[in-house]
Structure formats: C-alpha cells, structure tokens
Structure 1
Amino acid sequence: MTADAIPFWNIGRGKATNIRELAYSYDGLTAFTPFWAMAAIFSIAGDTYGLIGYKGQIYMALAWAIVLFSLLLFLYPRRTWVLVALAGATVALFALRLPVASNNKTITAVMDGAILLSAAVLYLRAGRGPIDRVALYDQVRIVARALLAIMYFYGIFHKINTDFLDPTVSCAVGLYVPLARPFGLEDNLFGRYLAIYATFIIEGIAIISLYWKRYFAVGFILALVFHYIIPISAYSWYMDFSSLVFALYVLSIPKPASHMLYGISLKVANRLRENYGRIGTIFPGLALMLIAAAIVMLLTLVFPERSFEMVVHSVWILVWAVVGGAAMVVLTYVALENLPCENVAAPRAPAWIYVVPGLFFLSCLSPYVGLKTESSINMFSNLHTEAGRTNHLLFTKPPYLFDYQNEVVKVVDSSKEFWVRQSQAGNHHILHDLKLWLRWKPEAWVTYEKDGAIVTRATAASLADEMPNLLERKLLIFKLVDFSRPKVCTH
C-alpha cells in the first residue's frame, strides 16, 4: 500500500486501520515540511490587510496562495510539488513587496530561493523526471544551517555597540521589561544586564552547536527556549521569526535526530488520519484557532478599547503559546535522546549551493558600506551607521563604499503629515527614501534641509533626474535616522 491509499475524508466511517500498515521510509523533507508550513502561516497571518485586499489584488492572491499551499503541505507532506509551489508563491510575494524591511521575510525568501534553485537543478539532472527528495534534503539543509549561523553571527556583530550595552535603552531590555513586569523586576539593573549579555551568550553557543554535531543539543535547546519566549513578550510580531527559526533548525539537526522527529510526527499524523482521514491533520490547528479567538473575543468585552491589530496579535500569541510550546517540547525530547549524537557523514554538496548563503552573508554588511540599514539582520540591535558616524565599537567611522547614508535630510514641511510628525519627533530621513515616496505619490511635495541648505517643495517632477533606478527602488530601504544619544531601541 502507498500513502495515496489514505482517504481524504473519513469522518463517520469508522477507523481506517490500514493506515498504520503503510510502508513509510524515512524522509527528512517530510519531517521539515510541517514546520515550514507553520512558519509560512504565522508569517502571512501578520499581514491582515494584505489578506483582505487592501494592498492590491495580486498581493492578496499570492497571500492566499501561501495559505493554500501551507495547508496542502500539512495534508500532503511528501508531495514535492507542494513544497516547491509554496516556495514559489513566497518568493513571488517577497518580490512584489520589495523593498522589504523585515529580516525574517528576507531569510525566508533566501531559503525558499534555495529550495527552488536546488529543485530546478535536480529536476533538470533527472531528465525532467521526479525530483530526488533525499538529494533535495541534503542540499537545502546546508543552506538552512548556514542561514542560522549567519543570523546568529550578525545578531552578535551588529549589537557590539554602545547603545545595545546601555541598560537604559538596549533592545534586549525592551524584550526583558514586558516579561519581568509581572514580577516587579522590570527596573532591576542586574536583570537588565543579564538580558543584554545573555543575548550574546545564547547566540554564541547557538553558532558553535550548529556545527558541533555531537553536542548540537546544547545550543539547540537554548535557542528553542529563547525563540519560544520572545513572541510571548508581545513586544512585536515575533511568531513568524520564531517559527522560521524552528523550521530551519529542523532542517539543520543531525539525521539521527531528524529520523526520530519523523517517527514521532508520523505517529501523531496517522492517529488523526485513522479517525478523520487526511483532512484530520489540520483539525487540531483549526480547533486551537477557534478556542484562541473565542478567548480573545471574551476578553475584548472586558477591554473594549483594544485595537483590531491588538486583537489579531493576541489570538496568534495564544496559538503560538500552544503550537510553539508543543514543538519546543518535542524537539527538546528529540535532542536529549540524541545527546551525544552520532555523527553521520553527509554526501558532498555541490559548490554552487554555498553561493546562496554566501551572497546573503555579504548583503548583511550593507549598513557599514553605506547601503540599506533595514533587512540586514540588524533588527533590535540599536545599531547606527548613518551620516558617516556609528556607535559600533569596532569602527570609528563606517567604511562607506556608497553615499546613500551620507544624504541625511531634515523635513521642514510636507504635504504628507506623517513626514512632518516624524521630523517633529526628532527623526531625520535618508534622501533616497523621500525620493522613493515622491515617486509613488507624484502629487506629494516636501521641503527639507540638507547640509544647511533648504530645498523648497521638492516633488517627483523637480527631482526627476535624481530618482532611484529599478535596482535601488527594489533593494534599498533605510531606517529613520535618530541622532539622539543614547539611541533608543526602535526595531
């Protein structure tokens, strides 16, 4: 019998007992795909306005395609074409969104790009035949491990600055305070410093453990706990980031651990399939969503002043608390059962597979060379590199290769009130971003100060010769510039 024999719908028909008799062979991709589907759903769930068509019909179609392919991946985890379709839809939506500030969406797009590239190469090598799932797994897991290592490396490197180490403004403290407040410890100086330096320690251990396979569980478990907790702080929409990290770890863990995870997942899935058919694998998630929504809606009766965004955020935090918690427990069990882990030699990977993480590593240097200050794994780092100045402890001034960050302006007046409000709040802008906005809104105008000179009522027409080209429009995005010191954590 094959997996195709599993009925799609089996409610009210008695148990399909023959499901347990199916002959399944270990498949590392099948252990990974439910986690990848979960990460995709947590990511798109945070884009409520995109899902309801506020950002355009093409955007909405791609967003719902991601939802559809994610659900299909839960139902058919062995269907390679579903994984490829999800990767394709995600990359297409990322391209439509560009420029993208989100680090986790950038990492996801890089991983999905690697999946598409590897699948395409294997498809062509097979003479346009079925893709070798074992080879695909062996290739993309190299990228996943490298992306985690790059993420943790820059998570440390970007934070080596005076303001991240300052307990009054550090982004680590921004995460610590909501978690410590219920215990009255939010102002505890020791707790604040502990949050700062624990960030370096945890991320450092995580990097080492990624490549020290025998004792991978040490850093793995620390990372699981860390990434499980941060979304619960409600400081930001962290569920997508944490679920992404969980999924990348599932690809990165040694094969004996992956094999055990596969066995556990198969037992759970088969019990649901026996009772409800293939559709049963998504029933627990749907039930959890309904319960979480009901709890939050009841709470809105007590706190009716809460915004729609907060209501949505609260529902998904509850979902993450259960789903992320269950995933953390299972993955921790798998890790401990494989400690120390036997090192299984992996087949030699083609050299081109390292190009993807290599390019991503270089792109994360962009703040220091004068390029983008968003989407460079510098989230919540307090890093500042604009106007030829930096708070980084390893540079007296950033080694610019490009001048974008030197063009810092102060908005004086504008037809767009939010520019004025940002300026009145003490923020400056990178001129590139103002030009980009003017191009999108040709009727808008802005008066700004640059290098002591006032430019009056600049428009897309008056700056036509200076407008960003296609690559600049798609690849460059900058944070607001705040020259106050110490630099308060923003994002």
Structure 2
Amino acid sequence: MSARADRSLVGFWRHLRPAVSQAGDHAAADGLIAFSPVWAAAAIFSLAGDRGMLIFRDGALLGLMTWAAIAVALLLVWRPRWTPLLFLLAGVMLTRYAVAMPVAGNNKMIAAFMNASILVICAHALLRYSSATEMRENIYENMRVVARALLAIMYFYGIFHKINTDFLDPRVSCAVALYMPLADGFGLQDSLTGKYLAIWSTFIVEAIAIVSLYWKRWFAVGLILALMFHFVIPISVYSWYMDFSSLVLALYILSVPREVSQRFYDSCARLFRFLRDRFGALGQALPFGVVIGGAVTVVAVLSLFSRQAHIAPSHIYQSVWVLMWVAYGGIGMLLLAEAALSHLPWRGTSAPSRPLWLYVLPATLFIVCTAPYIGLRTEASIAMFSNLHTEAGTSNHLLIPQPPYLFPYLNDVAMIKASSEPDLQYFADRNQGLVMFSLKERLRNKPDAWVTYELNGVRHERATAQSLGASIHASAWERKLLIFKHVDFARPKVCTH
C-alpha cells in the first residue's frame, strides 16, 4: 500500500483497530486501551446528566447527537482496542458541545478541550507516521501531555477562584455545602471543626494534586488523595458530580507514568479474560449487568419502603447513577491506586520532551478561565462551587478586589423586580439580578415576556425584548461563548454552584 493510501482514514482504521503485541508498542497500546473505555464511561456519565437532551426536549438534533454519542461510547467500552472509535467519540462529543453552546458545565468544557486535543493529535499522527507502532506511541505520549496539563489547570483554578472571603466563611462556603450531606449520617453536620476542615482540606488536596502531577517520584501521593476526593463528592448528591469525577479518573489514567497505566490495564484485562473464559463472549458484559441491575433494584426497594409520600423521578434517576458511580468509581479508583502504590516511589525514566504545540489548547483553557476577572463571563471558567463574585466592578476575591475588566459584560447588573416569566420572577422573589447580556438573551427567546428591573438606581418598568433591542444586542459568537451566573449581592454570598 502506498504511503498516501496508508495515511487515509481507512489506513488509520487498519493500523489502529487491533491491539498489537510487539514489545516496543506494548505500553503505548495498553495505555490507550486502558484510557479508551474510561473516557467512554466519562462521556456516558456526562450524557446521562443531560436528561432534557435524552428525551429530545432540547430539539431533535441534540437528541439524536446525544444518542449517537451514547452508542459510540458503549461500542468503545465493548471494543476498547479499536482506537478509531476513540477518535469518532471525540468528534461526536465535540460537535455536540459546539451545537449546544453556551454550556455552563465546567467538566463539559474540560472534556471539550480534551476531545479537541484527541482529534488534533490523532490527525497529526495520521499525517506524519506510516507504521502502527509510531502512531500509537505518538498518540499516547502526546495525549498524556495534554491530560496532565488540563488537570493542572483545573486544580490551579480550583484553588485560585476559592481565595475569597465567602468560600472561607463556614456559614456559606461551598465546601461546607458539600460536607454537610456527607457528615449528616454521622451527626457531625453542625461541627465547626468539620466545616473548617472541609474548607482547608480542599486547598490542601488540590495543591498536593498539582505538585504530584509533575513531581513523578511521589506522584502516587497526590493521585490517591485526589482519587479519594473525587470518589466522595458525587456521593454528596449536591449536584450531578459523577461526570466530573469520571472525567478526572480518565485524565489521571493518561497522566500517571506509563508503567502504572499498563498495570491498571493488566488488572482490568485479567478480570475480563476470566469472565470471558468462564461465561463465554457475554461474560464481559456481566459486571455491567450486575452493577446496573443492582443499582436499580436497591433504589426501587428503598423507594418502595420510603416514608416519603412522593419521591421525584429525578431523585430516583440520580440515585441509580450515584450507586453505579459507587461501584464503577470505587473499583476503577482502587485498581488505579493499587497500580500507583506498586510504583511508589517511581524510579522510571522520563519520556523525551514533546512538541510545544501540544500546550496550545491547555493554554487556551488557562486564558479562558480568567474570564470572571476580565469581565468576559462567569460560567464555564472552573469557578464551580467557589462562592466567587466578580460582577458590577467589585469582587470578594482576596487578591483581586477590583477586577481589571477588559470587557464590559459584567459592568451592568439588572436587579429583577417583577416579571411575567416564572424564571425571572424567581430572581425577583430572591432579590437577585442578571447581567444585562443574560437578561436580553432570556427576553430574546421569549418576545412576549416583560420584566421590571432596576439598573444603576433607575427603575425600568415592563421592559420587553423589543424595547431592549434584544434581537440585535449580540453577535452569534457572543451568544455561543458568553454565559453568566445570576447575581446575588447579599453578603455573605451563599453557595450556588
């Protein structure tokens, strides 16, 4: 086959579909095979959280793309050796994200950057290399650089955004909001010591996690602390955190030394080989059936004997997925922790330096996350559960009390007083507001609605989309990229998300 034909998509599939057994390619092959199903599982947890799209409430296009992504992800779980399926999943998920924008989810944004990196890295390998061994080695090593950088950025802003007066306040801190549901079963939900421990342990764990990503000799210390933290937070049921934690697990499988991911792969492979040998071809599906069936059964029984007169279907749905996370996340993280401890302290040799262009997408994410301080946007900036406030020219951040706005979007905050729309009336009832960009966008989608608001001390009665020029106030790019939290000027600032 000619080199040109070999570099076609058909050649890509032919080269990378089977896992190879040559010694020189063994670690790269195992690393990709270990990562692929975990990345697919992270996609499934994320897609499961978008209930509106699953039932086509957000339109036929997004509904079809969601189910297409689920189908590809399930196929990748079933056939993790077929690396082109990873490429296909990244493409479907990234396209779906672009169509759905603006998207508030921080985990979805990080996943989008990783999916974009997978596409670029695979395309680069396809164009540059002709052999399967070189392709796999290049794809695996380049993806590891990006995954580690994305984790480092996530933890950096996970610390930086939280350096504010309200996150440090045990009365309202988001760390306490996550702590209290977990501590309730032990009767410690009102413990002031426990609340402060929750606040400061967040900084400590995330700081150790950053250092350990690049201090490879003791990488396992930060890894295990991070895995414990990310295993627990979905169990708080404060929010749909399974997608975030499963995303982190997948990125860690790429970030750890390659010997660790290879050992993780070997542990998983032994289990599935045993099941296949014992129960035949369908034996590989047995663990999934047991976990799903067990979760559904437990939730159904508990719901049946619950003292509550009515349990919301959404609560039942989330409870099933939390139990599936407990099984999947618990086993996956234990196997990865065991693999890491077997290499503590790590004494391997570092891989050769990788090209600088790999850092372009992570650097872009780093810049995007400065958005709350430069006046650009407040959602999708890794400011989740941080109590951060940067609107109207002031901030509760201890290091940036007066944000240096480079963009004007956060200057004007409309305090909602009344509205014909229930969603806007909700803000009025709680004395909350919206930046003017968000208010106009909400009215643009509901041209018959009216809202009374106060801006800079001036009251505006029964404004509509037409009176505010909502149809022409922003470009298509602005509507895709800008998304803002609602604004609460009450102090201390309570945790929202």
Question: Could you tell me the TM-score, scaled by structure 2's length?
Answer: 0.91
Counterpart amino acid of residue 412 in structure 1: K
Aligned-residue offset at 1:278: 5.0
Correspondence 1:258-337 to 2 at 5 A: 258-276=261-279, 279-303=282-306, 304-337=309-342
Contact 1:44 1:63 in 2 (8 A): yes
Tell me the distance in 1 between the aligned counterparts of 2:416 and 2:158: 32
Tell me the distance in 1 between the aligned counterparts of 2:215 and 2:331: 26
Contact 2:414 2:436 in 1 (8 A): yes
Instruction: Please name the residue that 2:393 is paired with.
Output: 388
Aligned-residue offset at 1:482: 0.5
Q: Deviations over 1:179-214 (max 9, x none)?
A: 111111111111111111011000000000000011
Of the three residues 110, 115, 119, the one matched with 2:118 is 115
Aligned-residue offset at 1:422: 1.3
Instruction: Please name the residue that 2:195 is paired with.
Output: 192
Tell me the distance in 1 between the aligned counterparts of 2:287 and 2:21: 23
Tell me the distance in 2 between the aligned counterparts of 1:363 and 1:338: 36
283-292 vs 452-461, which moves further: 452-461
Q: Deviations over 1:323-382 (max 9, x none)?
A: 111112111111110001123322332221110000000000000001111111110000
Aligned-residue offset at 1:479: 0.6
SS in 1 for 2:252: helix
Correspondence 1:92-491 to 2 at 5 A: 92-126=95-129, 132-276=135-279, 279-303=282-306, 304-464=309-469, 466-491=472-497
RMSD after superposition:
2.0
Identity %: 51
Counterpart amino acid of residue 386 in structure 1: E
Contact 1:75 1:278 in 2 (8 A): no
Counterpart amino acid of residue 117 in structure 2: A
SS in 2 for 1:381: coil
Q: Deviations over 1:413-449 (max 9, x none)?
A: 3221220121211211111111111222223222222
Instruction: Please name the residue that 1:18 is paired with.
Output: none
SS in 1 for 2:465: coil
Tell me the distance in 2 between the aligned counterparts of 1:129 and 1:345: 23
Question: Which structure 1 residue ranges, 4+ long, deviate > 6 Å from structure 2?
Answer: 21-24, 127-131
Instruction: Please name the residue that 2:81 is paired with.
Output: 78
Contact 2:101 2:481 in 1 (8 A): yes
When residues 387 and 266 of structure 1 are mapped into structure 2, their CA distance, relative to the original with a 3 A threshold, is same
Tell me the distance in 2 between the aligned counterparts of 1:131 and 1:432: 49
When residues 146 and 22 of structure 1 are mapped into structure 2, their CA distance, relative to the original with a 3 A threshold, is closer
Contact 2:415 2:431 in 1 (8 A): no
Tell me the distance in 1 between the aligned counterparts of 2:216 and 2:209: 12
SS in 1 for 2:467: coil
Structure 1, unaligned runs of 5 or more: 5-20
Tell me the distance in 1 between the aligned counterparts of 2:38 and 2:417: 48
Structure 2, unaligned runs of 5 or more: 1-12, 14-19
Counterpart amino acid of residue 393 in structure 2: G
Aligned-residue offset at 1:466: 4.9
Contact 1:80 1:133 in 2 (8 A): no
Aligned-residue offset at 1:127: 7.1
When residues 440 and 129 of structure 1 are mapped into structure 2, their CA distance, relative to the original with a 3 A threshold, is farther
